[in-house]
């Protein structure tokens, strides 16, 4: 089977730029909308939202690879690195490492890409890993680097990357391409197009023994941020993880040829969906702050606990809506107390009510 890196002309990808003109325009439009929404948030709330958005990206980019991390540990590590937490609570290596990479990406998005940048990221995300031979450097093993899944009769090879001996030359070319195509480069590429090519190009080289997907998504976010002139805070991994099969299918459809319009169309839609998700979450955070301002001093301890729990469920809300039984479980209260508390929350305008009797459910009024 022939892979894209074996084609004449590699790594010069081709695509229909006309098919990407509208997604590129939408990206810039929504970027302005997101920047405007963020400015309506106070400084303290901006810090909290920044931790939440970066933390969710850290969790989701790991979850895409099947690594489930502890949310509280990731967020605590982020607060430490941003100078918002001062006790040195111990954070497990995996959670600390992915948080370090996301903070480095946030702070240094504008810097040119270097091999050392990616080596540092690899050391961060492989923190605590004991089964990888080469950490913080490109792979050197002589065996073929393959992406394989278990088939019914025998393993199925979804992709085979260039041999390890080619990594220095391949990655020199990648770094040069990434820096040459940034804003002001020669020649520069549009934001979403460049980010999409960077992602696919990198994973097709597959330069590390492990962690390539996480670094590819970080590179895509770096490319987008460079075009905006500030961290994008885009929910890219958050959006990909919700349709992970479609993501892997799109990668597999585009690892044999150099014509990649299909991949870039998929990626552009994903980026625009990610922006919509981020804008929703920013607006949700604004609504949260306004609701708490309106309810300040009016909630009892039980009600405050439940409202906080509902907000932690995020934009998608509490699965199936909050029931009276959920309220009892969260607060350890009696049914009569739960009923009275819920009625008060509806009267205050904190919750809305749908359904009747055992089908009654409550939702945040945001």
> What pLDDT score was predicted for residue 280?
92
- Asked if 269 and 360 sit in the same domain, the reply is no
Helix (H, G, I), strand (E, B) or coil at 363: strand
Q: Does one domain contain both 220 and 334?
A: no
Question: 130 and 73: one domain?
Answer: yes
Same domain, 140 and 188: yes
Before 334, cis peptide (omega within 30)? Answer: no
Q: Find the helix or strand (DSSP H, E) in which 220 lies.
A: helix 212-228
Shared domain for 210 and 336, answered yes or no, is no
Q: What is the pLDDT of residue 45?
A: 84
How many residues does the structure list for the chain?
A: 366
Is residue 270 domain-shared with residue 138, that is, in the same domain? Answer: yes
Contact 263, 196 (CB under 8 A): yes
Determine the average pLDDT of the residues in 184-207.
97
- Asked if the model's pLDDT at residue 153 lies above 80, the reply is no
Whether residue 160 is contained in a domain is answered as yes
> Which residue, 224, 256, 284, sits at the end of a domain?
284
| 274/348 same-domain check | no
Domain boundary among 251, 284, 317: 284
> Is 293 part of a structural domain of the chain?
no
CATH number, domain containing residue 186 = 1.10.3290.10
For residues 350-354, average pLDDT: 97
Q: How far is CA 117 from the centre of its chain?
A: 19
- Specify if 292 maps to a domain: no
Give percent of the chain above pLDDT 70.
99
Which residues sit opposite 351 in a β-bridge? Answer: 364
109 with 219, same domain?
yes
Mean pLDDT of the chain: 95
Entry pTM = 0.92
pLDDT of residue 44: 83
Q: Is position 291 within any domain?
A: no
Query: Quick check: 151 pLDDT over 80?
Result: no
Rounded-to-integer distance, Cα 208 and Cα 224, Å:
23
Residue 331, domain extent: 299-364
Q: Are residue 15 and residue 80 in the same domain, yes or no?
A: yes
Looking up tokens 């990616």 gives: 118
CA nearest to 284, candidates 71, 54, 37:
37
pLDDT at 318: 86
Final residue of a domain: which of 260, 284, 308? 284
User: Which tens digits make up the pLDDT trace of 208-242?
Assistant: 999 999 999 999 999 999 999 999 999 999 999 99
Has residue 41 got a pLDDT over 90? Answer: no
What pLDDT shows up at residue 78?
97
The answer, yes or no, to whether residue 319 has pLDDT greater than 90, is no
Which pLDDT score is estimated for 155? Answer: 85
Query: Beta 146-149 vs 361-364: how paired, if at all?
Result: unpaired
Total domain count, the chain: 2
The helix, strand and coil proportions of the chain, stated in percent and rounded to the nearest 5, come to 60, 5, 35
In a shared domain, residues 271 and 339: no
125/267 same-domain check: yes
Q: Three-class SS of residue 64?
A: coil
- Let me know whether 310 and 267 are in one domain: no
CA distance 100 to 102: 5
Determine the Cα–Cα distance for residues 30 and 92; give it in Å rounded to an integer. Answer: 36
Q: Quote the pLDDT of residue 152.
A: 67
């Amino acid at each position: 089977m022939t892979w894209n890196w074996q084609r004449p002309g590699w790594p010069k990808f081709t695509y229909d730029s006309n098919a990407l003109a509208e997604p590129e325009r939408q990206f810039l439009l929504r970027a302005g909308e997101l920047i405007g929404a963020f400015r309506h948030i106070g400084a303290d709330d901006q810090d909290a939202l920044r931790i939440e958005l970066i933390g969710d990206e850290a969790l989701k980019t790991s979850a895409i690879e099947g690594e489930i991390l502890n949310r509280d540990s990731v967020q605590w590590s982020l607060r430490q690195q941003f100078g918002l937490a001062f006790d040195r609570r111990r954070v497990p290596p995996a959670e600390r490492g992915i948080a370090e990479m996301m903070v480095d990406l946030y702070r240094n998005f504008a810097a040119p890409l270097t091999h050392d940048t990616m080596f540092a990221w690899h050391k961060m995300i492989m923190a605590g890993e004991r089964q990888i031979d080469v950490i913080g450097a490109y792979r050197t093993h002589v065996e073929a680097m393959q992406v394989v899944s278990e088939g019914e009769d025998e393993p199925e090879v979804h992709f085979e990357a260039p041999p390890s001996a080619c990594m220095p030359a391949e990655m020199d070319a990648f770094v040069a391409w990434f820096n040459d195509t940034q804003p002001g480069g020669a020649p520069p590429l549009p934001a979403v197009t460049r980010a999409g090519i960077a992602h696919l190009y990198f994973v097709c080289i597959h330069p590390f023994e492990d962690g390539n997907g996480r670094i590819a998504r970080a590179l895509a976010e770096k490319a987008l941020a460079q075009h905006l002139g500030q961290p994008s805070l885009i929910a890219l991994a958050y959006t990909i993880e919700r349709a992970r099969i479609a993501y892997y299918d799109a990668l597999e459809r585009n690892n044999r040829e150099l014509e990649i319009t299909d991949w870039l169309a998929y990626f552009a839609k994903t980026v625009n969906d990610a922006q919509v998700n981020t804008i929703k979450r920013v607006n949700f955070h604004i609504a949260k702050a306004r609701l708490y301002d309106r309810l300040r001093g009016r909630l009892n301890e039980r009600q405050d606990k439940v409202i906080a729990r509902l907000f932690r469920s995020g934009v998608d809300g509490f699965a199936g809506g909050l029931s009276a039984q959920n309220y009892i479980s969260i607060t350890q209260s009696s049914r009569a107390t739960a009923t009275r508390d819920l009625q008060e929350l509806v009267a205050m305008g904190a919750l809305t009510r749908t359904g009747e009797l055992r089908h009654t459910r409550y939702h945040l009024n945001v």
